[in-house]
Amino acid sequence: MKFYSTNRNSPLATFEEALMKGLADDGGLYMPVSIPKFDKDFFGRLEEHSFQEIALLIAQKFVEDEIEEDVLKRIINGAINFPAPVVPLDDKISVLELFHGPTLAFKDFGARFMAKAMGHFISKESRELNILVATSGDTGSAVANGFYNTPGINVFILYPKGKVSHIQEMQLTTLDGNVTALEIDGTFDDCQRLVKSAFVDTELTKILNLSSANSINFARLLPQTFYYFEAYKQLENKTGEIYFCVPSGNLGNLTAGLIAKEMGLPITKFISATNANTTFAEYIRSGRFVPRDSILTLSNAMDVGSPSNLTRIQLLYSDNMELMRESIYSDSADDNLTVDTIRRVYENYKYVIDPHGAVGYYVMKKFLSTHQTKNYSAVLLETAHPAKFLNVVEKELNKKIEIPERLKNCMSKEKRSVSISSDYKEFRSYLLDRKQK
């Protein structure tokens, strides 16, 4: 499969090039030149395949012969080594739990696959690869974990000192080995500025062989298509309309779902739920895209004022708003509605939902109240484990939340980070010093 740049001013790229570059030279995002299709027969026999087998069949359509089958299989089995169960709440509504990976959020799927695929290609080269990632929390831990112990790759995670939650900080700073946590005396924007400055510093990028693990990398979207197929496979009732509700920020998860639908997966409609950062919901309503500064909310992984994957969605529908609205409904829920919903979901189903899932549940119910046909199945993507948001969830439910073992483990380890200022010169010389050693 070849990949084109959404700015259409770069040559076509192979899967390897799209993966290793992340962003095209013209600043555009990579998209496959065509979306491969599965036939009806394939969906009828989905139950015969394990999650990992489904993942392999999908990945092969995009990777083709660039990675040998047994190697691709090893990459997938190493990356997707935890389940994505569909848990029914009632006879029509269920939750797709995407938090069973090591860092307890769906970003593990994308980050782990991308890391293992990069690890494969770098193993053929003699040079080490250095990855820089700025994080405000969740992305950093998923990426760090994905690359952990990958030979030939060093990862530097930049996070703003005192501005990530305690749990997030422990997830970032307890890995060691090829992962270094840089505690930046500044804001998330400072971290991003340092990373961006490094990438335009041609001398530095040459010396260090720098790459990014940016969320716009197509190799992070691809594995997110896998679990839509896996969820469909698990649905009890496939005879009616099928809705998937996606709590949305940068729209990567939604884009992956839309690609899965284009591949033939019979999904009637996507419900995209945003928090008080309503840019996308307003775009679907009005057809006008008005980016804004992001607002802090309780569902902070969705605090995005200018979603980076919008261009991909526009391309999928050739900029046709009517077509887009046939496939996508979008609305939002603010923090008050979010905490209300956490309580309501617990009262109704004894299910503990996290703030991101709660935004989704509220918007999904709103959609169903006006659109429902008698025969439907609605699946809500639960993007993070509630234990990652203890302060919100425990307070609202007045109840202790069980912390999963894999999270407890890192909480008891020793924090290791390198403190540096937000000055680019200091950051640059730190990286060069590390290279000397």
Ligand X SMILES: *Cc1c(COP(=O)(O)O)cnc(C)c1O
Which residues contribute to the site for ligand X (CB under 6 A)? 105, 107, 138, 247-254, 301-302, 356, 383-384
Q: What is the largest CA-CA distance in the chain?
A: 66
Return the number of the residue (31 or 208) whose C-beta is nearest ligand X.
Answer: 31
**Cβ-based nearer residue to ligand X, 18 or 254:** 254
Tell me 5's DSSP state.
E
Residue 288 has phi, psi (to 5 degrees) of: -110, 135
**Shortest reach from residue 433's CB to ligand X, in Å:** 33
DSSP-derived 3-state class of residue 105: strand
Tokens encoding 383: 């993007």
Q: What span, in angstroms and rounded, lies between the C-alpha atoms of 363 and 356?
A: 11
| Pairing between β-strand 3-5 and β-strand 30-32 as defined by DSSP bridges | antiparallel
Q: How far apart are CA 223 and CA 56, in angstroms?
A: 10
- Least CB distance to ligand X at residue 201 (A): 28
Alpha-carbon distance 151 to 177, whole Å? 10
Amino acid found at 216: I
CA 178 to chain centre: 22
Q: Quote the DSSP letter at residue 1.
A: -
For strands 269-274 and 241-247, give the pairing: parallel
Tell me the C-alpha distance between 276 and 341, whole Å. 15
Name the minimum Å distance from CB 143 to ligand X: 12
**Which tokens sit at 425?**
């010169």
To ligand X, the closest distance from the beta carbon of 104 in angstroms equals 9
Cβ nearer to ligand X, comparing 242 with 256: 256
Nearest approach, Cβ of residue 215 and ligand X (Å) = 7
SS (H, E, C) 111-150: HHHHHHHHHHHHCCCCCCEEEEEECCCHHHHHHHHHHCCC
User: What is the CB neighbour count within 10 angstroms for residue 22?
Assistant: 20
Nearer to ligand X, 178 or 253 (CB): 253
- Closest distance of CB 149 from ligand X, Å: 23
Least distance from C-beta 428 to ligand X, angstroms? 29
**8 A C-beta contact, residue 411 and residue 167:** yes
Q: Is the Cβ–Cβ distance between 19 and 218 less than 8 Å? A: yes
Least CB distance from residue 240 to ligand X, whole Å? 26
Instruction: Round to whole Å and give the CA distance between 312 and 289.
Output: 14
Q: Which is nearer to ligand X, 204 or 380 (CB)?
A: 380
Q: Are 171 and 139 in contact (CB under 8 A)?
A: no
Q: In this structure, are residues 418 and 180 in contact, taking their beta carbons and an 8 Å threshold?
A: yes
Q: How far is the CB of 247 from ligand X (least distance, A)?
A: 5
Residue 384 vs 420, nearer CB to ligand X? 384
Q: Which CB, 154 or 383, lies closer to ligand X?
A: 383
Report which secondary-structure segment, H or E, holds 394.
helix 390-397
Nearer to ligand X, 227 or 427 (CB): 227
The minimum distance between CB 31 and ligand X, in angstroms, equals 16
Nearer to ligand X by Cβ, of 62 and 280: the residue is 280
Cβ closest to ligand X, residue 143 vs residue 242: 143
Q: How far is CA 231 from CA 80, 202, 247, 315, in A?
A: 14, 44, 16, 26
Which residue, 329 or 427, has its beta carbon nearer to ligand X?
Answer: 329
Rounded to a whole number of angstroms, the distance between the first and last alpha carbons of the chain is 40
Structure tokens at 298: 């309780």
C-alpha 333/C-alpha 317 separation (Å) is 26
Residue with Cβ nearer ligand X (15 or 389): 389
